[in-house]
Amino acid sequence: PAKYRRNPTPNLPDRQWPNNELTQAPIWVSVDLRDGNQALANPMNVEQKLKLWDELVAIGFKTIEIGFPSASQPEFEFTRRLIEENRIPEDVTVQVLVQAREHLIERTYEALKGVKQAVIHVYNTTSIVQRENVFEKSKDEIKAMAVQGAIWVQEYAEKAKQEGSNSEWIFQYSPESFSQTETDYAVEVCQAVMDVWQPTPDNKCILNLPATVESNSPNRFADQVEYFIRHLPNRESAIISIHTHNDRGCAVAAAELSLLAGADRIEGTLLGNGERTGNMDIVTLAMNLYSEGIDPELDFTNPEKWMDVVEEVTKIQTHPRHPWVGDVVYTAYSGSHQDAIRKCLLKQEDSKPWNVAYLPIDPKDIGRDYEAIIRVNSQSGKAGSAFILEQEYGLNMPKWVQMDFAGTAQKLAEEQGGVVSHVDLFESFKDYYKFGQ
């Protein structure tokens, strides 16, 4: 959106990111119905998954990871319902997760019978800790697991074709816990997987790099991504995807820096639901881009609708200070902030770039109305009341009236013990000045 401009960035001559700044949205992938769902105490039932699916499609996701159909009957059934009820729009691709195990891969293709196009997302873990303590396998043995998984994925796709399937398959591989894996070794494993799939620039595979547990600072994670990309021999035949979790609270930062480091695709969830502290919050990253004038190609303008559905199916309330969409994030209580916002809003012209202090975007762009912006409480000065009475009741208050009335508004807030409603504010103004009596 042309309405927003970039913040001035200091000149950093030794900065070496492959992308100096972002100019377009990445390929987004919602994993709400899989990673988000697997983290819930009460996982969604099929009807709840269908409800969230509809919202994800309405928001504009073109790839949606719908689950792990070989893992349970509801997951299998959900996949069948989407296909049999023709709920997958032409331009939307479903993605399914599966471990590198033959019977699970076979069952996955069974679940997908009749699908037009799907991403088969196969993974195995490659991290040092899992190799040593969980699998007790050597590097070569773990690499062999990945290669075998890639072979099965390819073989069952071929088998489906021989049995008459017209489905288009896209292959995705994740070295789970990439961030806790030696980066050279991750390259080696992914290269071995690519040797099986033989992707080309016209028929790419997807390599998804997870911070399964966020254990590095975001810049270190992005360095790993950059190193991986630079050292992958057939980089032009792979889409590089990023899948971060939020254990250190930096999943969005890690994803954003990874895009600067050259990644193409981002997996995450709405509002960051997911294992432990959650997955990367797509809403935050998308709105970060939006506020810099980049079209995120996702539509979050109707939060009342999609947030209600997310909260209903996850049973998790959104924090009121959640970036971009929390209930109070476009609200100013302090007098000096209210005064600055009021002055800027009065000067803001629709045709000019957004230029309002304390409001990083126009709240209207995210479906918030003006009432939510300025709330008068006992900390508020004259400007908040003046702005509300002027905008909503057409009262153009001279400065001395603003100052004269400020104390009354603050007293009212103290009496009411919180935020004064705009109607009460107007009534108290009329009462104070015997106005209209």
Which amino acids are annotated as binding site for Mg(2+), given as ranges?
35, 243, 245, 279
**Closest separation in Å from C-beta 37 to Zn ion:** 11
Sign of the alpha-carbon dihedral angle for 406, 407, 408, 412: positive
Q: Which does 53 bind (CB under 5 to 8 A by kind): ligand KIV, Zn ion, none?
A: none
- Report the distance separating Cα 394 and Cα 401, nearest Å: 14
CA 257 distance to own-chain centroid: 14
- Near ligand KIV by CB under 6 A: residue from 26, 36, 210, 278: 210
- Residue 243: CB minimum distance to Zn ion, A: 6
Please state, in angstroms and rounded to a whole number, the distance separating the CA atoms of residues 321 and 328.
6
Backbone angles phi, psi at 85, to 5 degrees: -95, 15
Q: Which residues define the annotated binding site?
A: 35, 243, 245, 279
In this chain, which of 53, 109, 123, 169 binds ligand KIV, going by CB under 6 A?
A: 123
Minimum distance, C-beta of residue 61 to ligand KIV, in the bound complex (Å):
17
Residues 347-376 that bind ligand KIV (CB under 6 A): none
Give min distance, CB of 421 to Zn ion, in A. Answer: 44
Nearer to ligand KIV, 218 or 363 (CB): 218
Largest Cα–Cα separation, the chain: 88
Query: Taking the complex as a whole, how short is the minimal distance between the CB of residue 69 and ligand KIV, in angstroms?
Result: 14
Residue 176 interacts with ligand KIV (CB under 6 A): yes or no:
yes
The two tokens of residue 237 are 């035949």
* Shortest distance, position 72 Cβ to Zn ion, whole Å: 17
Closest distance of CB 48 from ligand KIV, Å: 20
The closest residue (CB) to Zn ion is 35
Task: Output 212 or 224, the one with its CB closest to ligand KIV.
Answer: 212
**CB distance 119 to 93 below 8 Å:** yes
The site for ligand KIV, by CB under 6 A, has a size of 10
Please name the residues in contact with 274: beta carbons below 8 A apart, sequence gap of 6 or more.
31, 35, 36, 39, 245, 246
Name the one range near ligand KIV by CB under 6 A: 75-83, 154-162, 204-212, 216-224.
204-212
Query: Of 152-160, 206-214, 351-359, 387-395, which segment contacts ligand KIV by CB under 6 A?
Result: 206-214
Give first-to-last CA distance, the chain, whole Å.
48
The single residue among 70, 126, 130, 174 that binds ligand KIV, judged by CB under 6 A, is 174
x/- map, 33-62, ligand KIV, by CB under 6 A: --x---------------------------
- Which token pair is 213? 């547990």
Interface with Zn ion (CB under 5 A), residue from 32, 35, 214, 362: 35
Instruction: Decide if residue 281 touches Zn ion (CB under 5 A).
Output: no
Q: Which stretch binds Zn ion (CB under 5 A): 29-37, 107-115, 143-151, 347-355?
A: 29-37
What is d(CA 430, CA 436) in angstroms, rounded to the nearest whole number? Answer: 7
What are the residues binding ligand KIV (CB under 6 A)? Answer: 35, 97, 123, 174, 176, 208, 210, 212, 243, 245
- Catalog residues that contact Zn ion under the rule CB under 5 A: 35
